[in-house]
Chain A
Amino acid sequence: MSLIRVENVKKYFKVRGSLFKKVKAVDGVTFMIKEAETFGVVGETGCGKSTLGRVILRLLKPTAGKVYFMNKDVLKLSGENLKKFRRMAQMVFQDPHSSLNPRMTILEIILEPLKEHGIVVDDPEKYITEHLEIVGLGREHLYRYPHELSGGQKQRVAILRALILRPKFIVLDEPTSALDVSVQAQILNLLKDLQKKFKASYMFISHDLAVVKFMSNRIAVMYLGKFVEIANADELFEKPLHPYAQVLLAAIPIPNPKIARERKKIRIVGEPPSPINPPPGCRFHPRCPYVMDICKREEPPMVEVEPGHYVACWLYARR
């Protein structure tokens, strides 16, 4: 059963000083997330990954499209139902240094969601300490301020704040990209353990392919506000279909030079076009090595090539 269903969501931002220009950050994305799975979203900077995450959590209002959470229209929720949704869907942000209020102690930060949702705990100190231990912190951190913690510790606090309400769904917006590599591994393992423990679904947003592969069951590749390919993690890495996905995966460095030399080389030129004025037809066509005439005219539909493996490319679609 699907926990989250996203249908043709679009989010355009107005461009300052212009009446008609719009940044098409997310431009028609459809997918669903199952219960207790991790759905990875990869793409380069500025392709709309984070915006998508925020739209799903209703932190931003989409320009068009629908988001369903447990078969309820998220955008139509209000009052008590909205509060329930807020309790069940949480977010962990990219930069742990700015995601904690510098004027509150760790105890206050973690207690706040409980208070807000009217959950009464007998002994907050003990309750929070127990939870701090789950994420690898301890009693001694209760009355510290965020600036007294390291980046990794802050991210643990942020994760705990998201988890304390036992949500069903968490958007992880590049939770490790501000941390150094050894801490990244710890946090990723922690997230995996917590998922087993609390049975939450993750939407894992990242530009780091290795991290996404490690975390996700299914992965979507995003380019300029659109998904170009959705597949199971292993399948995507073994057999990427969309040229952009191929290029992206080819960019992963391989430690063994022999294998690296044998690897099929695909290169693309140029930079991603501006999302204000995306190219007509397939958005990837100006940079695509396999570009055909139809790519410049018509947008490719998302087709299911194999069960569970979707790709939006004219190479695979029937015209």
Chain B
Amino acid sequence: MMAEVIYRGFCIIIDTIAKLMDKIRPGWSDRNSSRISEWKLMAYAYSRSAIGIVGGVLVSIFVIIGIIGPYIAFERYNEFPASVNPDLYFLRPCIPPWCDPWSENLPLLGTDNWGRDILSLVLHGARISLVISLIVVALGVPLGIILGLLAGYFGGAVDEVMMRITDVFIAFPALILAIAFATVLPSRFREVLYTNVFTREFFLSLFALSKEEIPQLASLLAVIFALVLVWWPGYARIIRGSVLSVKEQAFVEAARSLGLSTWRVLFRHILPNVLSPVIVMVTFDLGTATLLAAALSFLGIGPQDPVPELGFLVSKGREYFPDKWWIVMFPGIALFIIALGWNLLGDSLRDVLDPKTRRSLEFKVKGKKQRKFKSVKRK
């Protein structure tokens, strides 16, 4: 029932896109009917996977909070209410069935050592985590893909040199490498941020931080940079492996015998055929990057007070842990949900994006009742 509703919803979205494209370029849906039916099949496969839906819901909640979090958080992270009113130190969380936050005028998730509202901090922290994971993946993955493509396609000495460098990066513990970078880099970044107004404003608004936090922003960027540097080797390896198998396929040789340039062969024929494992990996890695960034902050390498990075909040709450458990607990739960969401989503995407499992699903459906994945009837 639930699955049916979700599937219908996706179908409506896909049909709307098709109609829109038809208006822009007449005949588009006719030409792409194979693609559209494939999308619908994917939507169908996705709607049948319970973990996929749970993951999708968790991830969309996280993304939405990440986008609007800083605006709906009713307290700024850099205001310290306890300095005005000492009663606000370490207020206990007031969670509805046991306690009514409205009538008692208590914070939902308690307050920290400065009387800051934990819920507001977590909402803001979600934004920081989202941005970190997106930037790390958006920079690290293309880098890995390009290096893997080149190594796999050209082979020989190029391959040997690049893969040995990759090995070095992989052999070196990622966390330690990231720590090394994250301790050295902030001062450089700080200079850039102070001198270059555009970069500064861009990143400040990206993380929704205020101007006083420029040094913290620099160490945030250092964490990101460090993560990017340790991120690409995995992708380089995976892509290289896929390229090695794809480049032996006849259509690559056919493309070369047509006289296509190396770049055309690489980007038109090889790249599209090695990307599918990457999409799944990216989904997993968005979760892992969030966690690793949090781990770095937890170890004290990332931003410091008052920036509400989730890992840093956990590490700070550690001091008060058994008694004031909520300071550790809620940012920790937030991190847990983020990682869980991405992982569940990745798990189901792996099945949905694999044409083989999708095809078997199609046949299963056809056995039960005829379902039309076709959007337009072919003439």
Most buried by A among B33, B34, B250, B379: B250
Number of interface residues of A (CB under 8 A): 34
Contact assessment for A145 and B34 in the assembled complex, using a CB-CB cutoff below 8 Å: yes
User: Which of B73-81, B233-241, B255-263 touches A?
Assistant: B255-263
Bound-state CA distance A165–B251 (Å) is: 17
What does the 1/0 interface line of A82-102 toward B look like (CB < 8 Å)?
110011011101110011111
Instruction: Choose from B250, B355, B378 the contact partner of A140 (Cβ within 8 Å).
Output: B378
Contact assessment for A143 and B264 in the assembled complex, using a CB-CB cutoff below 8 Å: no
In the complex, how many angstroms separate the beta carbon of B299 from the nearest chain A beta carbon? Answer: 43
How would you classify the secondary structure of chain B's contact residues: helix, strand, loop or mixed? helix
Instruction: Choose from A59, A145, A147 the contact partner of B253 (Cβ within 8 Å).
Output: A59
Nearest opposing residue in chain A for B359, CB measure: A147
**What are the residues of chain B within 8 A of A83 when measuring CB–CB?**
259
Number of interface residues of B (CB under 8 A): 24
**What are the residues of chain B within 8 A of A93 when measuring CB–CB?**
250, 253-254
In the complex, how many angstroms separate the beta carbon of B62 from the nearest chain A beta carbon? Answer: 31
In the complex, how many angstroms separate the beta carbon of A179 from the nearest chain B beta carbon? Answer: 15
**What are the residues of chain A within 8 A of B379 when measuring CB–CB?**
140
Q: Tell me whether B366 is interfacial, beta carbon within 8 Å.
A: no
**What are the residues of chain B within 8 A of A86 when measuring CB–CB?**
257-259
B248-287: which residues lie under 8 A (CB-CB) from chain A?
Answer: 249-251, 253-260, 264, 268-269, 272-273
In the complex, how many angstroms separate the beta carbon of B362 from the nearest chain A beta carbon? Answer: 12
B138-179: which residues lie under 8 A (CB-CB) from chain A?
Answer: none
Q: Tell me whether B187 is interfacial, beta carbon within 8 Å.
A: no
Q: Tell me whether B31 is interfacial, beta carbon within 8 Å.
A: yes
Instruction: Taking A57-B257, A82-B259, A100-B254 as given, write out 15 further A-B residue pairs in contact, using a Cβ cutoff of 8 Å, ordered by the A residue number.
Output: A90-B258, A93-B254, A99-B254, A101-B269, A101-B272, A103-B272, A105-B31, A113-B258, A116-B264, A140-B378, A142-B31, A143-B32, A158-B254, A161-B258, A165-B258
B residues sitting closer than 8 Å to A (CB atoms) are: 30-34, 249-251, 253-260, 264, 268-269, 272-273, 355, 378-379
19 cross-chain CB contacts under 8 A: A59-B253, A86-B257, A93-B253, A93-B254, A94-B250, A98-B251, A99-B249, A99-B254, A101-B269, A103-B272, A105-B34, A112-B255, A112-B268, A116-B259, A140-B378, A142-B31, A143-B33, A158-B254, A165-B258
